[in-house]
Amino acid sequence: MNNYTVVIADDEPLVLIGLQDMIDWKSQGFEIIGNARNGSLLENEIKTKKPDLVITDIKMPVKTGIEVLESLKAENPDASHPLFIFLTSFEEFQLIKKAMSLEAVDYLVKLELDEKQLEDALSRARERLDRINGNRKENSVNELQYLQERCFMRLLFSLDAEDIDPGDVGLELDAAAFTVCYITLGNIASDKANAMSLYQSACRLIKETVSRYLNCYLIQLDLGHAAIILPFNENQKAGYRSYISSASKVTLESLENYFSLKASAAIGPLVEDIRMLGDSFFKAKALSNAVKENECLTFFDHIQNRSLEIPEIKLDSQLLTKAFGELNAQLLEECMEKTIKEMKERSISRVNAMDTASTILYMATNLVPDAQTCLEEIFPPSENVFSFRQLYQAGSTEEVIAWLKRFSKGFSAIFAERKQDYRMQTVQKIQNYIKENVGRKLSLGEVASIFGYSQNYLSALFSRYASMSFVDYVNSAKIEKAKTMLADPNALVYEVATSLGFDSPFYFSKVFKKVTGISPTQYQNSLNHR
């Protein structure tokens, strides 16, 4: 673990002493190198000692913690500066909102602060510092997160759900029941310049707040919505509404207090199989369209005498996933033409049209690389409406259809330009995944399923862009790892074979000789005689 340096600041001596003694800082990868009692002294400590992290009271004499951070950014807007974690009191909502807009790592309420909260905040700071300093395999972490998000999207939209094994991408989802909480952030796009930053901060607050009460997974949808997947064990299942109510109350209040966001939560029904998550998500979305203006939290299981407008258009999710996943312009145009034609023929309502368009938007934002950039290119700000949020200004089904046509034309043009580069990037992502999982027995079917492709498509992709077949690449990666292991003179061939997922030492030797021209034993002997 890399050690990072910390300066702490607070005008209360007991707080400074308490922070230093609360945890074993070195075990968390940090070393305290200074402290300060006011903002001016803190600035001097930062300039002379150049810490990696500052933990400071949000209010201090002479200069507040916020003002110190603002000064650092103003003096050197393009230079690096320490990360900040702010200590706050309950009533300082506006200051916290300001701190998060300045990209603070976290905020900690002093009266509630305990070891776990401090260690969690330090963990988040360490992760960001590692990214900045290149001290961890960011590509591997991003790749795993990307695969997990794709897995959740396939579950939410019921895409081959019966074939999905979340464990393949490191998700432990062994629970008695699940539900989906559909969050609507009503006025997030009012600040066009900072809408994306505000959305990211809001999602981080939602996840961190809910996780204090329940295990949860947050999936970002568009700028106005997010989905929270909530698993419950057998003991929690009966009282799941109580757990959600407690978490939601604090979360929705925090969003309004810290970010001035009016938010609401619609809770889908419980499902006992993770592969039925799409049903809970579908009903939570439908419920969100039916909630009354003053309703912040609504459970699908509790609604009475309320008609839910269920979307009448059934999207071909399989083909849309293929179109977005493979950047296939022709296939996207075909899907969109079919959908628009059906919308016109059925004369569906604006609400149904909006739901259909939103679903297509969600899929694009989660399956297309740099989707936000693409959307801003297709939908530049118009009439004070930020990017693709123009969809939510549509006053009729015809206007929704016009938005979909523009969406289809724009993405098709982008796909046509980027297709070849994207295919190469896809192969590189899969190659990285293979290298990270070289100790497992990797099949074409399993990897294709994890990445959301058909076996035939993935096989053809590898043959064209990797200059070898999928099987040959897996074997090549395993043999490269085997060479490293055999460099140890005490390594046994059968142990190496087993650790790399080969069925037998005989098959391992056969593959090794095919790749290198000699047997594993000959290779090891050649190293020992050098």
Each residue's pLDDT tens digit, 439-462: 888 888 888 877 777 787 788 888
Strand 217-220 and strand 225-232: the pairing is antiparallel
pLDDT at 443 (0 to 100): 86
pLDDT at 199 (0 to 100): 82
Letter string b/e over residues 14-53, b meaning 16 or more CB atoms within 10 A of that residue's CB: ebbeebeeebebeebbbebebbbbbbebbbebbeeeebbb
CA distance 25 to 31: 6
Bridge partner residues of 185 (DSSP): 263
Task: Tell me if 478 sits within 8 A of 438, measured CB to CB.
Answer: yes
Q: Is the pTM of this model over 0.85?
A: no
Task: Tell me if 277 sits within 8 A of 271, measured CB to CB.
Answer: yes
Name which residue leads in pLDDT, 288 or 530. Answer: 288
Does 407 have pLDDT greater than 90?
Answer: yes
Query: First and final CA of the chain: distance in angstroms?
Result: 35
Name which residue leads in pLDDT, 78 or 181. Answer: 181
Closest CA to 255 of 84, 393, 100, 65: 100
Bridge partner residues of 85 (DSSP): 55, 106
Name which residue leads in pLDDT, 362 or 278. Answer: 278
Average pLDDT over the chain, rounded to an integer = 82
Going by pLDDT thresholds of 50, 70 and 90, the confidence category of residue 204 is confident
Tell me which DSSP letter residue 311 carries: -
Does 285 have pLDDT greater than 80?
Answer: yes
Residue type present at position 198: L
Does 526 have pLDDT greater than 80?
Answer: yes
Lowest mean pLDDT among 70-74, 117-121, 141-145, 250-254: 141-145
Task: Tell me if 363 sits within 8 A of 157, measured CB to CB.
Answer: yes
pLDDT at 332 (0 to 100): 93
The two structure tokens encoding residue 36: 């300060």
Instruction: Return the H-helix or E-strand segment holding 334.
Output: helix 329-346
Going by pLDDT thresholds of 50, 70 and 90, the confidence category of residue 139 is very low
The two structure tokens encoding residue 296: 């912040």
Residue 21: partners with Cβ closer than 8 Å, 6 or more residues away: none
CA distance 418 to 410: 13
pLDDT at 422 (0 to 100): 67
Closest CA to 411 of 329, 318, 337: 329
pLDDT at 417 (0 to 100): 77
pLDDT at 138 (0 to 100): 45
Letter string b/e over residues 144-154, b meaning 16 or more CB atoms within 10 A of that residue's CB: eebbbbbbbbb
> What would the pLDDT profile of 27-65 be if each residue is shown by its tens digit?
889 999 999 999 999 999 999 999 999 999 988 899 999
> What would the pLDDT profile of 7-34 be if each residue is shown by its tens digit?
999 998 888 888 988 998 988 899 999 9
CA distance 379 to 414: 13
pLDDT at 191 (0 to 100): 59
pLDDT at 144 (0 to 100): 65
pLDDT at 102 (0 to 100): 72
Going by pLDDT thresholds of 50, 70 and 90, the confidence category of residue 432 is confident
Name which residue leads in pLDDT, 223 or 68. Answer: 68
Name which residue leads in pLDDT, 302 or 460. Answer: 460
Task: Please provide residue 34's backbone torsions phi and psi, each rounded to the nearest 5 degrees.
Answer: 180, 165
Does 135 have pLDDT greater than 50?
Answer: no
pLDDT at 8 (0 to 100): 95
Going by pLDDT thresholds of 50, 70 and 90, the confidence category of residue 137 is very low
Tell me which DSSP letter residue 217 carries: E
Lowest mean pLDDT among 73-87, 138-152, 190-204, 398-412: 138-152
Instruction: Return the H-helix or E-strand segment holding 339.
Output: helix 329-346
CA distance 392 to 407: 14
Q: Look up tokens 């969406």; give the residue.
A: 407
CA distance 389 to 422: 26
- Which value, to the nearest 10 degrees, does the dihedral of the CA atoms of residues 370, 275, 357, 425 take? 20
> What would the pLDDT profile of 325-359 be if each residue is shown by its tens digit?
778 889 999 999 999 999 898 888 887 788 788 88
